[in-house]
Amino acid sequence: MKYAGVISGADRKSLSPVFQQAAFDALGLDIVYEAWATPAEGLETRMSTLRSPLVLGANVTIPHKEAIIPLLDRMDALAERVGAVNTVVNREGALSGHNTDVDGFLRALKEDGAMDPAGKRVLVAGAGGAARAVVVALAGAGASAITVINRTFSRASRLVDSLSDQAGDTELSALPDIYPSWAASSVRCDLLVNCTPAGSASTPGAEGDSGIPVDILHSGMLVCDLVYLPAETTLMTEAVSRGARALGGLSMLIYQGAASFRLWTGQEAPVTVMFDAAREALGDAEGGSE
Ligand code: NAP
């Protein structure tokens, strides 16, 4: 028997154990996937346990995606570019860091959002680790312009500065979180991505609306919310009511997990099984029985 798990903050619940375990079981792999909630002061010890020959690796989520970097032996080029790690692989006691959020987001956008980001104008809300992965993904896929708006402007500005050397022909800019910024940058926008937890029922204090002014949403946009609980967020409902298309965060969650699965096992992940297991658990959570 081998082990994998998700390293999250001590107070956070993750869906990964549900759909990763379903995937291992569906392929008959003798692997147990556990929830490894870890406070910041326990991170070093947690990482040392990953070096065991029994452990394949781990997913890493809020708030540890950057904090684990000094505890790794190496990082792949993409994780270096994003500056955040969401997957760790253990090979004979050496730990490597990867970022599968980038590929997970692009696959979700293309397969479930039916959008090729090449040449598209994008508005990104938020400037944390998820926003960095989304900006790297979109710039790498040839988006023509990306505007980042965050409630802490200095963080949006730092994101843009630190990624500008890898933006290629993509025009990158940061704007403060005030109404005129949203209004101006939404006019010719093809894609809006919410990379904040606002609107999430699984983040204490973030329930409700996204903080994005809904009157900027229009029928020429795809609105992509990385939040996956609830499955249809207020932002998505508002988008659809204004004629926009909407994509929730579950697709990215499953595809980033599928890419992690491939790194640990060398096998393609059964994504249909993963979607089914996650939707069942989300249905229970929305019904109030999580
Ligand atoms: P993070 O590094 O903590 O960054 C959070 C960002 O959201 C920051 O820019 C923060 O602004 C902003 N923010 C937080 N609360 C807010 C609020 N109430 N109103 C407006 N802005 C707010 O987190 P992250 O890793 O980027 O993750 C962000 C969200 O994406 C989370 O909900 C996470 O679950 C989700 N996510 C989903 C997937 C998926 O596969 N679907 C993958 C990765 C992340 P400040 O800078 O001002 O603090």
Ligand 1 contacts CB of residue 67 (under 6 A): no
The answer to whether the CB of 197 is under 6 A from ligand 1 is yes
Determine whether the shortest distance from the Cβ of 256 to ligand 1 is under 6 A: yes
Q: Kindly state the DSSP code that residue 190 receives in the 8-state scheme.
A: S
Nearest CA to ligand 1 atom 23: 128
Quick check: 71 and 46 in contact, CB under 8 A?
Answer: no
Q: Is 101 in the pocket of ligand 1 (CB under 6 A)?
A: yes
Instruction: Identify which of 183, 191, 193, 190 has the alpha carbon closest to the alpha carbon of residue 213.
Output: 183
**Cβ-proximal residues to 255 (8 Å cutoff; 6+ apart), any chain:** 103, 104, 105, 107, 108, 111, 271
Q: Atom 36 of ligand 1 has which residue's CA nearest to it?
A: 226
Instruction: Tell me which DSSP letter residue 202 carries.
Output: S
What's the pLDDT at 207? 66
Enter the pTM of the model. 0.95
Domain boundaries defined on the chain: 2-100+254-286, 102-250
Topology (CATH) of 102-250: Rossmann fold (3.40.50)
Q: Hey, do 2-100+254-286 and 102-250 end up sharing a CATH topology, with the first three levels equal?
A: yes
Say what the pLDDT of residue 200 is.
84
> Do β-strands 31-37 and 145-150 pair in parallel, antiparallel, or remain unpaired?
unpaired
Distance 196 CA to ligand 1 centre (A): 3
Nearest Cα neighbor of 287 from 231, 209, 240, 210 is 231
Ligand 1 and 110: CB distance under 6 A:
no
The residues carrying an active-site annotation are: 65
Ligand 1 centroid to Cα of residue 72, in Å, is 24
Ligand 1 touching residue 113 (CB < 6 A): no
126 CA distance to ligand 1 centroid (A)?
Answer: 6
The string over 264-290, giving b where at least 16 C-beta atoms fall within 10 Å of a residue's C-beta and e elsewhere, is bbeeebbbebbbebbeebbeebeeeee
Dist. CA 169 → ligand 1 center (Å): 26
The third-level CATH classification (topology) of the domain covering 2-100+254-286 is Rossmann fold (3.40.50)
Distance 127 CA to ligand 1 centre (A): 7
Q: Measure the CA–CA gap between 138 and 170, rounded to whole angstroms.
A: 9
pLDDT tens by residue, the chain, 290 residues = 999 999 999 877 789 999 999 999 999 999 999 999 999 999 999 999 999 999 999 999 999 999 999 999 999 999 999 999 999 999 999 999 999 999 999 999 999 999 999 999 999 999 999 999 999 999 999 999 999 999 999 999 999 999 999 899 999 999 999 999 999 999 999 999 999 999 887 666 666 787 899 999 999 999 999 999 999 999 999 999 999 999 999 999 999 999 999 999 999 999 999 999 999 999 887 764 33
**Quick one: which atom of ligand 1 is closest to the CA of 254?**
40
